[in-house]
Chain A
Amino acid sequence: MAVVRRRSTLPQAPVYAKADVEALSDEHDEPAWMRERRVKAWELYENTPMPYMEEEWRRTDYRHIRWDQASTMVAANGAGAEQVPAKHLEPLTGDEQGGLLVLVDGKVVRRELADELRNQGIVFADLRTALSEHEELLREHFMTAAVKASEGKFAALHAALWDHGAFIFVPRNRQATLPLHVVCYNSRSGAAMGHVLVVLEENAGATVQVEYASSRGDEHASYIGATELIVGDAGNLRFVSLQDWNRETFEFSHQRGLVGRDAQLDWVNGVMGSRLTKAFIEVDAVGTGANARVSGFFFADHGQFFDLDTQQNHNAPLTNTDLLFKGAARDNARTLWQGMIKSLPKMQKIDGYQVCRNLMLSDEARMDSIPGLEIEADDVACSHAATFGTLEEEPIYYLMSRGITRPQAQLMIIEGFFDELLQRIPFDRVRRRLMDEIEAKIIG
């Protein structure tokens, strides 16, 4: 029998043209410098091949994406905040928040900021508004220091075509005492290019929560995003990001925190949704005495693939970074964590900690962890580890011998596994959310 091979006519890469970039910039009547940056990024994008066998990509298979579906930019069609499930709108802790910004399909549907924060000169706005009202701040910080277009194919694409996002700015010596909450929700399939930029000036403080989610969809969707966290000297940022895209979404994101002299970044990153997430999560300790703590939660099931690249860059002496990722996988899900601690030459007295712990809940699941160190100094304390475990029968039996049912015993042990991570999260509602997520993935 003859085998007829039909050459696939489906696109192997996002489907955009330079005209899309120009049209986007025109549509929003952007300042010339932004338009120039977009066009330059587009040229970079065009001159960069799709990532394939590079070290950080060679385990990532994204060839099955229907780019014909996933390249159509999500356009708002009147959906409002009522579309967003309540859990994404809940404050981090207690009943109060300093601000709430809800974007549905890229469009602002709610924007609230407490007067006491506004009066301090704190900016909490969507990026479009920020670009007209705080142009100079954006010009200085937007993709200039933390995430740059030159980081890779998807960073360049994002820089050329970003279309919505949030900007948070806390001036020198000011504290956003109440949490600021951003929700990016898509009610439609397609491409979302969201951007979050947080800038804390010297000795400023803030707590920021960003939730990403989308409604159920049948078509492939993409999120090509960037998160930039810039913490000025002696600043203090607590940042929580929870990702809960629908199962047809493919995420490619670059997320980086820059931590200044004696500043503190406490970053919680929860990866729960999407079909594929390829995230580059990096902290750069750029000032002497900078401290960063990164806590990652991931739980993959039913064909999900989470591919997380973390990097801790010690670019100054006396810096501390502490990264703990804990994840589980069930069904035929796959996870990959690749970690790296780097130091510039002669950065003495740095302390870098990097651990990924994995819990495999089925024989079909696959979890890989690849820690790494590149340290060019001798007076340092750096450690890294990866651990793998399965759900063992002995502890289940022990709990059952006290009358606890098997499903409850399994759930308790899995929640127990994550407890070390949950204990690092200073927000009760986030801990609750993650525990609900664990329950849903185990029982639901």
Chain B
Amino acid sequence: MVATLEIRNLHASVDADDDLILNGVNLTIRQGEVHALMGPNGSGKSTLANVLMGNPAYVVREGQILLDGEDLLEMDADERSRAGLFLAFQYPVAIPGVTLGNFLRHAINARLKAEDPESKGIPIPQFARMMRQKMSALEIDQSFAGRYLNEGFSGGEKKRAEILQMAVLEPRIAVLDETDSGLDIDALRIVADGVNSLTGPDMGALVITHYQRILNHIKPDFVHVLYDGRIVESGGPALALELEEKGYEWVREKHHLLQAAEA
């Protein structure tokens, strides 16, 4: 079955009585598709990513998020992850004392335990072999498995570690929140290659970005523009190029004209 993530009329804010950050987002992502979500700063891109994953810092005021028809809003972040959703964080948090390797082993075991409470977890040699293989594919030094999660990682190392986690957890739908920002060209290529090797029939992706640059490496099937907490423009890959050329001012003007016309 092809996994489908449906976002319907999603409204969200930080507190229940705050101004809305997401203002009625509608979007459907299927396994195998790559969607790019672009938008200026403050348009709600990161909020969308975090609301999808279940960040308790946000309140969903209206709307639905369904994964294969199952209501994600009824699930905590861990259940959403085990259901097949993944978020590559824009700013992954450092966790002192917890090594990347230990963390990922726990993440895999949490999945195995959810399926079978009697599970003893992944055998360590098998886990080590898998890590070695996935790390070398992402050109991550093997020593990273023994380092504390994101602690003292450079910007590029953090992003690569996020992609490594994605590769290990094999989600069905992945959301990448500005995974490209701040990467030099080599790191960008490694990250994009990593994403490309995972997308395909088994994984759908929502690639959130401010810039068109990463889309030279990750070819989207669809491009959407988020503005003021809603998707105001959707199209094919050409839309990204148009945005690059005309800038977000173009969206802003067009959107305000629309709003004025509606009023």
Partners in one complex: yes
Chain A positions within 8 Å of B, measured between CB atoms, are 393-395, 397-406, 408-409, 412-413, 415-420
Report whether B95 and A399 are in contact in the complex, using a CB–CB cutoff of 8 Å. yes
List 6 A–B pairs whose Cβ atoms lie within 8 Å, in order of A's numbering. A397-B55, A400-B76, A401-B53, A403-B81, A416-B95, A417-B97
Q: Identify B95's interface contact among A400, A403, A406, A413, CB under 8 A.
A: A413
**Pairwise interchain contact B97-A394, C-beta atoms closer than 8 A:** no
CB–CB B97/A418 < 8 A: yes
Q: How far is the CB of A410 from chain B (nearest CB, A)?
A: 12
A408 to B110, CA, bound (A): 9
Please name all residues of chain A whose beta carbon is closer than 8 Å to the beta carbon of B110 when the two chains form the complex: 402-405, 408
Q: Which of B55, B81, B95, B114 has the most CB of A within 10 A?
A: B95
Q: Specify which of B55, B56, B97, B107 is in contact with A403 (CB 8 Å cutoff).
A: B107
Q: In the complex, are the beta carbons of A393 and B97 less than 8 A apart? A: no
By a CB distance below 8 angstroms, the chain B residues around A415 are: 97-98
- With a 10 A CB-CB cut-off, give which of A398, A401, A412 has the most chain B CB atoms: A401
Residue of B nearest to A414 (CB): B97
Contacts of B148 in A (CB 8 A): 416, 419
**B76-103 CB contact bits vs A (8 Å, 1 = yes)?**
1110111000110100110111100011
Question: Which of B54, B96, B104, B106 is in CB contact (< 8 Å) with A401?
Answer: B54
Contact between B106 and A406, CB atoms less than 8 A apart: no
B66 within 8 A of A: no
With CB as the reference atom, state the residue of chain A lying closest to B113: A405
Residues 41-58 of B, flagged 1 when their CB comes within 8 A of A and 0 if not, give: 000000000000111110
The reply to whether A393 and B57 contact each other, CB–CB distance below 8 Å, is: yes
- B residues whose Cβ falls under 8 Å from a Cβ of A: 53-57, 76-78, 80-82, 86-87, 89, 92-93, 95-98, 102-104, 106-107, 110-111, 114, 148, 165, 169
* Contact of B98 with A413 in the complex, beta carbons under 8 Å: yes
A398:B93 contact, CB within 8 angstroms: yes
Bound Cα distance A415, B169 (Å): 23
**Do A416 and B98 touch (CB < 8 A)?**
yes
Which A residues are in CB contact (< 8 Å) with B106?
A: 399, 404, 408, 412
Q: How far apart are A391's CB and chain B's nearest CB, in angstroms?
A: 12
Whether B98 lies near A406 (C-beta < 8 A) is no
B165's contact among A402, A405, A420, by CB below 8 Å, is which? A402
Docked pose: A397 CA to B87 CA in angstroms: 11
Q: Please, which residues of chain A bring their CB within 8 A of the CB of B92? A: 398
| Cβ-neighbour of A412 out of B53, B87, B103, B111 (below 8 A) | B103
Contact of B82 among A394, A399, A403 (CB under 8 A): A403
B65 to chain A, nearest CB (A): 15
Q: Known contacts A393-B57, A403-B110, A404-B110; is A412 also within 8 Å of B169 by CB?
A: no
A403-B107, A416-B97 known; 13 other A-B pairs, CB under 8 Å? Answer: A394-B93, A395-B95, A397-B55, A398-B92, A399-B107, A400-B54, A401-B81, A401-B89, A404-B106, A406-B78, A416-B96, A416-B98, A420-B96
The 9 closest A-B pairs by CB, nearest first: A416-B97, A419-B97, A403-B81, A402-B107, A400-B77, A416-B98, A400-B78, A403-B110, A403-B82
Residue among A393, A403, A415 with most chain B CB within 10 A: A403
Name the residue among B81, B89, B97, B165 with the largest chain A CB count within 10 angstroms.
Answer: B97
Residue of A nearest to B83 (CB): A403
Contact between A398 and B95, CB atoms less than 8 A apart: yes
- Give, as a whole number of angstroms, the nearest-CB distance from B117 to chain A: 12
Instruction: Kindly state the separation between the CA atoms of A413 and B98 in the bound complex, as whole angstroms.
Output: 7
CB of A438 to closest CB in B, whole Å: 11
In the assembly, what is the distance between CA of A255 and CA of B97, in Å? Answer: 30
Residues of A close to B77: CB separation below 8 A: 397, 400-401
What chain A residues lie within 8 Å of B98 (beta carbons)?
399, 412-413, 415-416, 419
- Distance to closest chain A CB from B44 (angstroms): 19
Q: Which A residues touch B107, using CB under 8 A?
A: 399, 402-404
Task: Give chain A residues whose Cβ lies under 8 Å from the Cβ of B103.
Answer: 399, 402, 412
Give, as a whole number of angstroms, the nearest-CB distance from A147 to chain B. Answer: 34
Closest partner residue, chain B, to A415 (CB atom): B97
Check A398–B81 contact: CB distance below 8 A.
no
Report the bound CA distance from A406 to B57 in whole Å: 15
Say yes or no: A402-B169 contact (C-beta < 8 A), given A408-B110, A412-B98, A413-B98. yes
In this complex, what residue of A is CB-closest to B82? Answer: A403
Q: Are B54 and A403 in contact (CB under 8 A)?
A: no
Bound-complex Cα distance A405 to B103 (A): 12
Q: Are B76 and A406 in contact (CB under 8 A)?
A: yes
